[in-house]
Structure 1
């Protein structure tokens, strides 16, 4: 837009606002500017540090799980040591050398950040194994600035859309927000950001200390456990066998007079501790972060809209409590060290903390204690009965917050000015992962051929494959609004006005420096003059800001009736800016307060990082010890293995690929098993394969990465179908008593399948192919 298009704004700007900007209290202005710069840097550091902790925490859990499998002899030491590479944080940086590629990615992530329906839809489409990667990108990259109003607004808008979809598809209240989905994981992760952590410290530390500070406190109320402990204590103290029988039923234990005497005061103590937790939580209502309360509000409104008029208050509060207590409060109670609420925790405290958490869980779910398994918890129903109405009242009050648009409170003071440029720090693999997800689901995400997402993806071309950890690096990506005019048309008018006011201040502040250099008669007092100055100085950013101001003003006047004309609009903005300029003291005080809060948040994040690094150190020491023992034992066997190797190789008929013979290859197999042998061994429980075909069928098992196995069913030499097995999934099935792994045509015995995989791929005792 040239200055000739701005004639109607020619006299819109007077010299008074320039004078106000020039005559600001420079000392106080500098103090506030410095504070705002520190706030900006702190927010950025919190964002990056939180992302590092999330990645590190995820990798620690992975290695922890693999060590657990190692202990159970279900994974090899080599596989665990390979996983150790995941513990190195990615601190390398790079740039995308292809300028057009860099700009297209900037456009893509601007679109995803600001048009939240794309991410909301992706959250429904991703597979379980993709959730963590999407979670990292959404919570710590796209909306990683936890104290930036605009990003918070966008993130909550995204939650709103996903929740709406979740409720739209729900058939009953009982099925809502229960599964481990991208939505529920995002909601949990959201509660663990800075504001959520601050609230946990404020509300839980005191009741937690009531338990963790008591070294000798024992809250065990299971009569069988108490009975056994009583016998052990008696024999230890007296040196004589206990007169009580060892093996008795739980009911007999509960009737024992000594056990009753021990349990009674513990029940009273648990009720008292439960009250203390609940009192602290209820008393801190006003400190609950707005975003968490807003999510509770969405749950309430969506439940009532979906299930009215049959839904009860108890059901509604049960869902709100499921989010607030079970996903937010209880994990911090059960594992307070992981949330940095207490430094150390004694073994008996870990068990003690499970009881108040269980009490709050039943209170939230409106489920009474009792039944065959937990009959001994029934006395705690006193706590549930007296607190049910209190909790429901609190959960109802949680939802009494203003709507998003009313809550959005952009920084009022603009002395430092806000840059219109937005940057995110993102890894190459994050970019490529999101790019590939969008490609995969493009027909659902953007069915319209003119959709902005399709246009950008078309320019980008195919997604690059994932890089190795050694090749992956961080990229500073400038977000670019390719569809600025379209977005401005649909944006909230208050946001447009606030943004325009900030832009105007940035422009005026820069123009004030030019005014100082020219005579009074040549003072800059119009947009046309400003455009001319920007053009002469070849200042493209200044020109872009001026263009955006003009476009926004036009939208505000014509579409939203913010003012009658340009003169009125400029007058309104000038008045607001002048009021802000003369509130230095209040803004300095607020910025100082914000700085202290954010410093505490950053300190907590850094403390958590130290905690995670200590965990890594423990793992490394453990693995080094295991490796040393392994190498010692292995070296003593090498001579015998060498001697037997030739005979063993000549006898085995197990087939392997040429690649698997290389010590550098991670691929194992294929290992060949005849159908008839697996059926004879009891591995195949049921089958739809015709009897006359079974003698010509065999299975090839291969593994290219730890814990994942590909099985190809072969008929003669033709591949019929493929099955992918995951050890974690099989172990989970085993742990909950599921003994059958079902495919389209056969059922396999889970226990025998785990045994076969363990024997074949972990211990190295490769079975011989037995064909009939």
Structure 2
């Protein structure tokens, strides 16, 4: 009693936490609300112990029902629903699923109470009762049709249980006729004489009958209106009546209105001659073959023939009216046709006359051509006659002046002179070749030889043009690389967005927005990057402070370029993620992506230094190179698989990859279970019949089938054949591999051998193989489309079979390169191990050959004069952000990268000071062309070893330097030489001009000689040159400068060709990306068009009876339903608004029962997992493979 009192007090206090027991605290509000309601209904305002006990038990059961609905546990929900504790009435076992569906819908909105649950039960019972009554009413309608009485049929249609709409008693006869027609058509289509009409078919017949009635009435009224208009004699009224939509006439032309009026009036007049029978009724034959009776006086009609019916004999019917309209219109159209073709007739006549004239001209030309021999003979005779006449006159003239004729003959020396010229040319050429060989090979070339070739130090117009072309191409290559990288990233993002669009994860508007941004960026990217020399303000502003800042950065970046130790140490001072970003952006930019030989040499030198530093400081075990991800190795591979090394991979792999892709019959599968499942799915998909084999098997069970073993043997044989093709293509391509990859392999092998002297050569070569094959070539084989190995059309992609084939080949080559055998789970591949062992020996020889490369200096022909013979200063293209980032990193780690305090980089960083802000450097554009200084500053000026005024040595041959310096010379000839130099300098572009020479060009010839003698004396005092050997040391340096200039010109020509090829390849890649952009835009446009069209035109749904699906094998069974009743069950499949989602509706005799959503991706996942059957509506058992086959055929056209 005390407990009851406490509960009643807690209820009155309105505290939910004190009301409930500790069983279900989360439902405290429910207990409080329901118990409060019961308490208020109690006469004394309190609940007794039995009442409270029963109420709490019922409410606890309600809580459990709500929990079961929340988690989707229908079994628990049904147990509580049917439990006597819950206290629900009228709960039927067979309606359990309907109860759950109804309560789930209600539960979405609020927490269910006991009254809500009881209401759901009552509503479901009522709905099912109505469905049963409707099925009985449909049966009564079919029975009334069998009775043949339209009135009984009308009464059945009006029955309230049928719930048919728009039933009009006045159309009873037409309802009866239409329903009989519908049942006959259904019996014919289904080939079932006992077929009955279902609910939707009956409702459609009623609606169609009402529509027929309305159209028949409108038609009758339109015919009556035409008769009245003809009687009035007014042609405009007749035309308006004829063009009435209700009349259904065709071919009415406004220009023939008067003829219509006259002909119709004449026909009507002929009808009245026999007299008017005075009838008010007209019978019209309407579509569908039915007669409609229309009263002319009342304007009403009926489908039933009136008593004592008599057809009015003076009214025009539709046949009379249409006959007149067609005849008049045909006559009018024929007249208009002749009028419209008058010009064509004139053209035809003109063509005939022209043909006759041309025929006569051709006959005349043929006649003249046939007379060509005679004409030629006549002309030849006439020319001969004229020539003989001239000859006779000349001969007579000479005979008359014989005494004045002088015999002249050529002296023999004329022929000799030509031979002498040839001999002299040969001697001069031979002498020039000997002098050139002396210049190239001699240790101390004489002054006379050097003088002959000193002009090679001068720069011709061709040199300047080639340098300009080289600078332009370098800039374009770097710009195109950056532009293509950005464009590729945007295209990848676009591809992801379109993929998400297909999966309905984002909206179409987001994809269109990104596409517009991509197109706009693609159009403006290149032009913006090509305007880097037009900045205003910022680092290139015309002020002394900015100029000094720019020069300081130029010296800094030149030092970083030429001394790789700084960057090599800096890379390992940063975390892995930051160093990767730093390498990708700053380092490749600093070396212009190795766009010329100088920068490629410096970049490879950096790779070498960094790799040695990484192995020295970070590698403790030799296998860490393979198992880890070394920073430098990753950077080298990324660089050599980029624009510069892409052509090499394409040349090596493209032919064999294309051959594999073109072989449509190639299918490599090495997993027995995959082969087994593919075999089973193929059988079911092709035959459309269920397989009797199990879907889940072990590898041993799969291998027990002869078909699986046969397919596996064929796959292994094919895999060995195609792998051998790849191996052959790789091992003969040593010379095609980029020098950078081979040089890095050599450095890697030598450095590892130095640190691990006990390692065998096989161990070292496996590390080299990991770099050359696994890291460099393997990804390009697995995904050739991603590395531009093959050409694919926009939107094209590799098939799943092609990717699997290439992946299997790459796996085989990887095992062969590392001498790894197939063991354990791959024991069924043991026959391949012998092939792998022999392939490793081929790979081993390939790796040894790849490491056999010349040194950097020998490959690129680099020495201390290389930077001094170039025409223009080296240029790098770097963004302001990258400049600031590099400056910051150098300041943060300067002690680590340069431990000595007198290191030049400390002085440069001190000159630059603190890191500037972006605003102080950026100016108008975000990217600058920075020219790193290559010269050494001496007393505020730049010294150049080529500043000797060679004009003083050129006029006369000398054997050494002393005579021209210590002998008089013609001032006039020297001034001419200076004028030629001034003209040449005027043509030199500003950015290519050399530093100011040590000897001022404004001095006289004698002044320059004095200046040079003074400088030579100073060099002699320093021991740099020696007067006793007549300054041969300086001549040797000048000869070396000439040789370096020659080598530079050769490298420049080769570099021009290489840059042109690279630029062409980049432009081709850009064009391919543009095609992809066009394809994506077209795809998006198609999506937009489809979206617009789908709003108005939805895809047609497909309806199947259960019997038809059972015949196809899609439907296996329906619980509690006999097979002979399948014909009355309809499954309607229709695509929903979401892509890949179908709405499936179930009907029995036309009465809608249930609806569920079926996702196509879920079916494919079930098929992939090997699930053969599934349940629909918890009652229908479906074959998954055959259902996918049906959906593909009906909705995807596969």
1:131 deviates by 3.8
2:602 match: 154
1:14 deviates by 6.5
2:843 corresponds to 1:354: no
2:827 corresponds to 1:396: no
8 Å CA contact 1:128, 1:181 repeated in 2: no
Q: 1:379 to 1:282 in 2, by over 3 A?
A: same
- Secondary structure of residue in 1 paired with 2:615: helix
Equivalent-residue separation in structure 2 for 1:591 and 1:411 (angstroms): 16
2:796 corresponds to 1:365: no
Deviations 1:499-537 (A, max 9, x none): x9xx65687689999999952467999xxx963334769
2:480 match: 49
Matching of residues 72-151 of structure 1 within 5 Å: 89=525, 91=529, 93=532, 94=535, 96=539, 97=541, 98-144=546-592, 146-151=594-599
2:667 corresponds to 1:218: yes
Equivalent-residue separation in structure 1 for 2:640 and 2:847 (angstroms): 16
Q: 1:16 to 1:121 in 2, by over 3 A?
A: same
1:386 match: 838
8 Å CA contact 2:591, 2:599 repeated in 1: yes
2:688 corresponds to 1:257: no
- Secondary structure of residue in 1 paired with 2:930: strand
Equivalent-residue separation in structure 1 for 2:1026 and 2:772 (angstroms): 39
- Secondary structure of residue in 2 paired with 1:241: coil
1:425 match: 877
- Secondary structure of residue in 2 paired with 1:211: helix
The unaligned stretches of length 5 or more in structure 1 are 1-11, 486-499, 538-545, 631-772
2:772 match: 324
- Secondary structure of residue in 2 paired with 1:533: coil
Q: 1:336 to 1:130 in 2, by over 3 A?
A: same
Q: 1:567 to 1:60 in 2, by over 3 A?
A: farther
Matching of residues 287-366 of structure 1 within 5 Å: 287-309=736-758, 311-344=759-792, 345-347=797-799, 348-366=801-819
- Secondary structure of residue in 1 paired with 2:791: coil
Equivalent-residue separation in structure 1 for 2:953 and 2:728 (angstroms): 56
2:949 corresponds to 1:480: no
8 Å CA contact 1:43, 1:147 repeated in 2: yes
1:572 match: 1036
Equivalent-residue separation in structure 1 for 2:548 and 2:726 (angstroms): 56
2:24 match: none
- Secondary structure of residue in 2 paired with 1:569: helix
Q: 1:628 to 1:299 in 2, by over 3 A?
A: farther
Matching of residues 373-772 of structure 1 within 5 Å: 374-410=826-862, 418-419=870-871, 421-464=873-916, 473-481=926-934, 519-520=972-973, 531-534=998-1001, 567-576=1031-1040, 595-613=1056-1074
Paired residue for 2:639, among 190, 199, 224?
190
- Secondary structure of residue in 2 paired with 1:479: coil
Q: TM-score, with normalisation over the residues of structure 1?
A: 0.63
8 Å CA contact 1:117, 1:161 repeated in 2: yes
1:398 deviates by 1.1
Q: 1:376 to 1:346 in 2, by over 3 A?
A: farther
- Secondary structure of residue in 2 paired with 1:476: strand
8 Å CA contact 2:554, 2:931 repeated in 1: yes
Deviations 1:693-718 (A, max 9, x none): xxxxxxxxxxxxxxxxxxxxxxxxxx
Equivalent-residue separation in structure 1 for 2:508 and 2:884 (angstroms): 31
Equivalent-residue separation in structure 2 for 1:460 and 1:329 (angstroms): 44
Q: 1:481 to 1:417 in 2, by over 3 A?
A: closer
Equivalent-residue separation in structure 2 for 1:255 and 1:277 (angstroms): 33
1:82 deviates by 10
Equivalent-residue separation in structure 2 for 1:72 and 1:583 (angstroms): 60
Equivalent-residue separation in structure 2 for 1:426 and 1:514 (angstroms): 47
8 Å CA contact 1:139, 1:189 repeated in 2: no
Paired residue for 1:247, among 693, 696, 699?
696
Q: 1:307 to 1:159 in 2, by over 3 A?
A: same
Q: Which moved more, 1:570-579 or 1:327-336?
A: 570-579
1:557 deviates by 8.3
Q: Which moved more, 1:81-90 or 1:220-229?
A: 81-90
Equivalent-residue separation in structure 2 for 1:71 and 1:557 (angstroms): 80
Matching of residues 165-244 of structure 1 within 5 Å: 165-168=613-616, 169-176=618-625, 178-180=627-629, 182-244=631-693
8 Å CA contact 1:113, 1:143 repeated in 2: yes
Q: 1:507 to 1:262 in 2, by over 3 A?
A: farther
Q: 1:257 to 1:512 in 2, by over 3 A?
A: farther
CA RMSD of aligned residues (A): 5.0
Equivalent-residue separation in structure 1 for 2:507 and 2:627 (angstroms): 34
1:152 deviates by 1.9
2:1098 match: none
1:13 deviates by 11
Q: 1:461 to 1:200 in 2, by over 3 A?
A: same
8 Å CA contact 2:640, 2:741 repeated in 1: yes
Q: 1:624 to 1:582 in 2, by over 3 A?
A: closer
Equivalent-residue separation in structure 2 for 1:105 and 1:413 (angstroms): 23
Q: 1:620 to 1:465 in 2, by over 3 A?
A: farther
Deviations 1:65-94 (A, max 9, x none): 788899999999999999997977462633
- Secondary structure of residue in 2 paired with 1:308: coil
8 Å CA contact 1:417, 1:506 repeated in 2: no
Q: 1:30 to 1:356 in 2, by over 3 A?
A: farther
Q: 1:102 to 1:594 in 2, by over 3 A?
A: closer
1:368 deviates by 1.9
Equivalent-residue separation in structure 2 for 1:263 and 1:299 (angstroms): 40
8 Å CA contact 1:254, 1:260 repeated in 2: yes
Q: Which has the higher contact order (CA 8 A, sep 6+)?
A: 1
Equivalent-residue separation in structure 1 for 2:951 and 2:487 (angstroms): 43
Equivalent-residue separation in structure 2 for 1:417 and 1:530 (angstroms): 14
Q: TM-score, with normalisation over the residues of structure 2?
A: 0.42
1:582 deviates by 9.4
1:281 match: 730
Q: 1:249 to 1:52 in 2, by over 3 A?
A: same
Equivalent-residue separation in structure 1 for 2:1067 and 2:892 (angstroms): 37
8 Å CA contact 1:224, 1:253 repeated in 2: yes
- Secondary structure of residue in 1 paired with 2:875: strand
Deviations 1:465-495 (A, max 9, x none): 679999862101111258668xxxxxxxxxx
- Secondary structure of residue in 2 paired with 1:247: coil
Q: 1:155 to 1:74 in 2, by over 3 A?
A: farther
